[in-house]
Structure 1
Amino acid sequence: MDIGGTEGQDRKVPTHEVTYVQLRNMVLTGGLAPGQAVTIQGLIKELNAGMTPVREAIRRLTAEGALTLHGNRRVSVPRLTATLLDQIAFARLTVEPKIAELAAPRLSGETIERLVEIDAGIDPAIRRGDIPAYLTGNHLFHFTLYEASGAQVLVEIAQSLWLRFGPSLRVVAARYSEGRLPDRHLDALEAARAGDGRALARAIEADIAQGVDMVRQALQAGEV
């Protein structure tokens, strides 16, 4: 179930799954900043959920490396280290361009139009200082593309990597109040329209590398 997705409209989604997605989205969209500790009771109130589904969501996200559970009934998003960033970057640069290449021949005109629509909403979000909307749009752009690949195992790996990397983009995005936050989405869209898998893989690789470099700079400056 992706951010902003429609899953659950055709069937009843179990409460524990709804709670998991809500908490996962808080991590991905900057609702929980790296190093920010929150209480389990606070999450129960924030998510309007019971103790059991919140604990289950925390358990799953802890297993995925997205949260750290502390002994004082608090959880936090782990801070990135230079070593961890290098590992995540290597994994993302290996997995995600391949997913994009696999997606290229499977992209329908409708999916490409959806990608264009998503990307059109990203820059206005930055200009109005709506960081959660930017992070949501950026995630949705990538995973709308990735889901077209049919490579579900690789997509799940990418999701796990984004849970570890995504929160640090909040710091980077906060630097931009006008103009376009640097990305390679336009290059990706051009390649998608042409059905050029290798060009699409290169665009996604460049997009990831650019984001990693910006996070690395923020990390070196002590901002993350």
Structure 2
Amino acid sequence: MPSPEMKTPEHEAIYRKVRGMILFGALPPGQAVTIQGLCAVTGAGATPVRETIRRLTAEGALEALGNRRVCVPRTTSEKLAQIHFLRRHLEPELARLATPHMTDKEIHFIEEKDNEVNIAIAAGDAGGYLEANYRFHFGLYAVAGADVLHHTALSLWVRMGPSLRVVCGQVGTASLPDQHRAVLAALRRRDPAAAARALLDDIDQGYTLVARTLGETQEPLS
């Protein structure tokens, strides 16, 4: 663990904060993003905010429109299908790799995140749901020891965050499906194949709901 004296550099802290705003849907699809606006929201100076916009644009979390205009991109049916294709290949593998190495403490952590998911659903708290659901998944993926897969999965989640917030607003949190119980059961048994299957089911259910809600249902890429 890092020592108490270690502090996250400002530019990295601002990047993570703005990335979280996108990831958890605080910035909706089509929202214009400006240096001045992010400075006001984050309390940061123009230099780290400008670097944050550059990084997130390079990662596809923001979209450059020309004339120095930047916005949160809208998810098209084609992009949605591509994200789904990549997620269903990456994330079950992360679950498979992580399962044999999960400690009881780590399983307890993601159980707590699942409880937070359920609390947010009951309260109709879309932002709370998105954050707890993210913590559930990436609490698992962090144990896999597969940095490239982990980083790629995170980039896909950031691209999906704004659209998921739209879905929550349209269908309500009570309609959101998940296979978390099946994932947890597989983890407790230390069954990598079952954990991967449950993750795949979770991803497929989520894709079906998002695609249907956004009016962009199409056959998933295989």
Instruction: State TM-score, norm by structure 2.
Output: 0.91
What is the one-letter code of the residue matched to 1:195?
R
Distance across 1 between alignment mates of 2:121 and 2:87: 24
Q: Is the 8 A contact 2:95 2:192 kept in 1?
A: yes
Instruction: State TM-score, norm by structure 1.
Output: 0.90
Distance across 1 between alignment mates of 2:173 and 2:91: 28
Q: Is the 8 A contact 1:123 1:179 kept in 2?
A: no
1:86 alignment counterpart: 81
**Cα deviation, residue 31, structure 1:** 0.8
2:190 alignment counterpart: 195
Q: Is the 8 A contact 2:11 2:52 kept in 1?
A: yes
**Cα deviation, residue 39, structure 1:** 2.5
The CA deviation string for residues 152-206 of structure 1, in whole angstroms up to 9 with x for no partner, is 1110110111111122111222245564631011110000101000000011111
2:43 alignment counterpart: 48
SS of match in other structure, 1:57: helix
2:129 alignment counterpart: 134
Gaps of 5+ in 2: 218-222
**Cα deviation, residue 56, structure 1:** 0.6
Q: 1:154 aligns with which of 138, 144, 149?
A: 149
1:121 alignment counterpart: 116
Q: 1:65 aligns with which of 48, 53, 60?
A: 60
2:164 alignment counterpart: 169
The CA deviation string for residues 91-121 of structure 1, in whole angstroms up to 9 with x for no partner, is 1111110010000001000000001111101
Distance across 2 between alignment mates of 1:38 and 1:108: 41
What does 1:5-20 align with in structure 2 at a 5 Å threshold? 11-20=6-15
Q: Alignment RMSD, CA only?
A: 2.0
1:34 alignment counterpart: 29
**Cα deviation, residue 138, structure 1:** 0.6
Quickly say closer, same or farther: Cα 1:162–1:220, change in 2 above 3 A. same
The CA deviation string for residues 115-165 of structure 1, in whole angstroms up to 9 with x for no partner, is 111110112212323211111101110000000101111101101111111
What is the one-letter code of the residue matched to 1:116?
E
Q: Is the 8 A contact 1:37 1:75 kept in 2?
A: yes
Q: Is the 8 A contact 2:125 2:173 kept in 1?
A: no
Gaps of 5+ in 1: 1-5
The CA deviation string for residues 27-53 of structure 1, in whole angstroms up to 9 with x for no partner, is 011110111213221111001111010
Distance across 2 between alignment mates of 1:125 and 1:7: 31
SS of match in other structure, 2:214: helix
Distance across 2 between alignment mates of 1:143 and 1:209: 18
